Structure 1
Amino acid sequence: MRLLQTEITPLINDLFYIDVRKQPFLSSPFHAQPSFHAHPELELVFIVEGCGKRIINNKVEPFEAGDMVFVGSYVPHIWLSAPAFYEAHSPLESKAIVTYLNPKLFGDAFKYIREYDSIREMINQASRGIRILGETRKVIAEQLIRLSTQTGFEKVEGLLRILHLISVSSETSYIVDNHVDQLETADSDRLITVIKYIKEHLHQHISLKEIAAVACMKKQSFCRYFKSRTKKSFSHYLEELRMEYAKKLLLEDRGGITDVAHACGYISTSHFCKVFKDYNGKTPYQYKISINKGLVLKPGTLYPSW
């Protein structure tokens, strides 16, 4: 099986993300189809409904509702629903809660604070894949369901509690032996290359021809590929990215409206203002005023990092 080397953080603009999935068969929203892949983000998967087989590194095992696994950085993995889930008009449904954690979350604090020793060691061992069982699984499942609707400090605090529970629980086991076979050479994920290029050149005009060349594809092929992976057209995705970045700059009061427009790749300030109002329901000026009045920034709101 060919391995796809990808990243999640550039796709979600966040270091910590909980994805509640309800779909006919298990599939990541970041892939056109289920793929054997690896990424730097740590991943906690809880299967609410569904069954099939999962592959973690070189280990193939069945999974069913209640399956909970913590996977470390760059560990190849895939969850494949049973064949019946892929049949047309199948009444079967898959549900999962998938949590992605960028390793940057665990910086110097985890190196020097003794109370984090068990969590740090558990994260190191997650390269082997960790099954979570028994009462620990039940408690974590309940906390994940609550966390999926929370924001701000409560969400981060809940995450640390879950990691602590995994690290001290005796109801865990490793999936992969210490020695594993050599895996096939990985393919790099061209979508990540494209998205990084877009973010690095957001202040410039980016043509379809230019971005297709970054992906080493023809324009029509690139359009089909991009929409299959992101569920959005390239122009729609680019506009959304620019509008979110514009809101961030306005929130941080980094220059006037014209400065923000140019930083987001718009030569014409009037065109930028029109697009911004269509997207947000307010002009950039009205948006800044509403920020100052406390009508936009809500307590606990987490904004994307760029």
Structure 2
Amino acid sequence: MKPVFAKIFENSDAAVFAVKVIELPYFSTEFHFHQECQLVYVVESEGKRIVGDSIESFQSDELILLGSDIPHVWHNDKHYFELDRSQVHARSIALFFNPDKLVDVLACFHPGNKLGVVLARAKRGMKFYGAARNLIKGLLFEMIEKTGMPQLTVFFRLLEVLCETKEYELLAGDGYINTYKEKDNDRIDKVFKYVFTNFNKDIQLEAVSALVCMNKQAFCRFFKSRTQKTFIEFVNSIRIGHACKLITEGETQIANLAYDCGFNSLSNFNRLFKEIKGVTPSEYRKMIEAGSPLAG
């Protein structure tokens, strides 16, 4: 999960957009970023997702738009790596498009003010829900079935929906800046993988610091400067995201949630849940049962 720059188009001088279907035993990309915008529909899979400084659980039927140069990764839950690797367990559709070239093309027909606004928002990551998600994912499925002019027509319809919909939430914080440095890739990679695997256990700062050969004070400064979160904020975000997943799946005992997600205090769990999600675990569960849009 190191944040490396990724090249998407082989022929970057000509391509404006490309769509592809991903079918793997598990999602295997590293934490990375690229100039191209990326629209991702998760057909089948679940795990943890990082977009900039946003850290959440993800599951099937998720639709995310990523803007230029925002680091991101979808990392499957650990049981995926224990399944039969000859079987497909992670499926998604990804649409990539070059924002600068797209704006230039559309400028020949009409001003691209609305598209420019969407591209700016997407630099924080946009998660779609409701009717917009259903419409956009339907258009993505159409795109993979078509080529040439019919595919281009669907692409423009999809852009129109992106420009008009209000059914989305922004993921990364308002002030998020990509501050990752290539020389730090291995250290960040080790820390992320360790937390993803052990978030439901007692994680000692000394153990994580030793993992990357740093003392506690130096590690805390390093981690905050790269992720814009303290290490404990990062761990708690992973834990609360997992709690949301369990609530969505029908877990009703709040005390069980707290301990299953690595908290040793129910009061601390409740406090952090409300701090991160804006509602208590019980309120979140009621929103799930009512089918209300959720903030994360």
TM range (shorter): 0.5 to 0.7
1:193-212 equivalences under 5 Å are none
Residue 82 of structure 1 corresponds to 77
Summarize the Cα distance change of 1:49–1:128 in structure 2 as closer, same or farther, 3 Å threshold.
Answer: same
State the Cα distance separating 1:14 from its structure 2 match: 3.6
Residue 172 of structure 2 corresponds to 176
Distance in structure 2 (CA, Å) of the matches to 1:56 and 1:119? 21
Alignment of 1:152 with 2:153, yes or no, is: no
Residue 51 of structure 1 corresponds to 46
Residue 37 of structure 2 corresponds to 42
Structure 1 counterpart SS, 2:122: helix
State the Cα distance separating 1:16 from its structure 2 match: 1.5
Match of 2:104, as an amino acid? D
Summarize the Cα distance change of 1:40–1:55 in structure 2 as closer, same or farther, 3 Å threshold.
Answer: same
Alignment of 1:69 with 2:70, yes or no, is: no
Distance in structure 1 (CA, Å) of the matches to 2:112 and 2:54? 29
Residue 2 of structure 2 corresponds to 2
Distance in structure 2 (CA, Å) of the matches to 1:87 and 1:177? 34
2:39, 2:66 within 8 Å by CA — same for their partners in 1? yes
State the Cα distance separating 1:102 from its structure 2 match: 1.7
1:46, 1:68 within 8 Å by CA — same for their partners in 2? yes
Alignment of 1:185 with 2:186, yes or no, is: no
Match of 2:97, as an amino acid? L
Match of 1:10, as an amino acid? E
Summarize the Cα distance change of 1:83–1:151 in structure 2 as closer, same or farther, 3 Å threshold.
Answer: same
State the Cα distance separating 1:184 from its structure 2 match: 2.1
Summarize the Cα distance change of 1:108–1:98 in structure 2 as closer, same or farther, 3 Å threshold.
Answer: closer
1:166, 1:172 within 8 Å by CA — same for their partners in 2? no
Summarize the Cα distance change of 1:109–1:169 in structure 2 as closer, same or farther, 3 Å threshold.
Answer: same
Q: Which runs of 5+ in 1 are unaligned?
A: 28-33, 188-306
Distance in structure 1 (CA, Å) of the matches to 2:34 and 2:137? 23
Alignment of 1:127 with 2:106, yes or no, is: no
Q: TM-score, normalised by structure 1?
A: 0.55
Residue 116 of structure 1 corresponds to 112
1:173-252 equivalences under 5 Å are 173-180=169-176, 183-186=179-182
Residue 16 of structure 1 corresponds to 17
1:257-296 equivalences under 5 Å are none
Distance in structure 1 (CA, Å) of the matches to 2:51 and 2:180? 14
1:53, 1:80 within 8 Å by CA — same for their partners in 2? yes
Residue 25 of structure 1 corresponds to 26
State the Cα distance separating 1:113 from its structure 2 match: 4.9
1:23, 1:93 within 8 Å by CA — same for their partners in 2? yes
Residue 240 of structure 2 corresponds to none
State the Cα distance separating 1:101 from its structure 2 match: 0.7
Give a deviation string over 1:256-278, Cα, whole Å, max 9, x none: xxxxxxxxxxxxxxxxxxxxxxx
State the Cα distance separating 1:15 from its structure 2 match: 3.1
Alignment of 1:143 with 2:144, yes or no, is: no
Q: How many residues align?
A: 183
State the Cα distance separating 1:108 from its structure 2 match: 2.9
State the Cα distance separating 1:116 from its structure 2 match: 3.5
Distance in structure 2 (CA, Å) of the matches to 1:172 and 1:186? 32
Match of 2:102, as an amino acid? F
Distance in structure 2 (CA, Å) of the matches to 1:36 and 1:137? 25
Distance in structure 1 (CA, Å) of the matches to 2:25 and 2:125? 26
Q: Which runs of 5+ in 2 are unaligned?
A: 184-296
Structure 2 counterpart SS, 1:135: helix
State the Cα distance separating 1:115 from its structure 2 match: 5.6
State the Cα distance separating 1:89 from its structure 2 match: 2.0
State the Cα distance separating 1:158 from its structure 2 match: 1.0
Distance in structure 1 (CA, Å) of the matches to 2:168 and 2:108? 26
State the Cα distance separating 1:179 from its structure 2 match: 1.0
State the Cα distance separating 1:58 from its structure 2 match: 1.5
State the Cα distance separating 1:11 from its structure 2 match: 7.1
Match of 2:8, as an amino acid? I
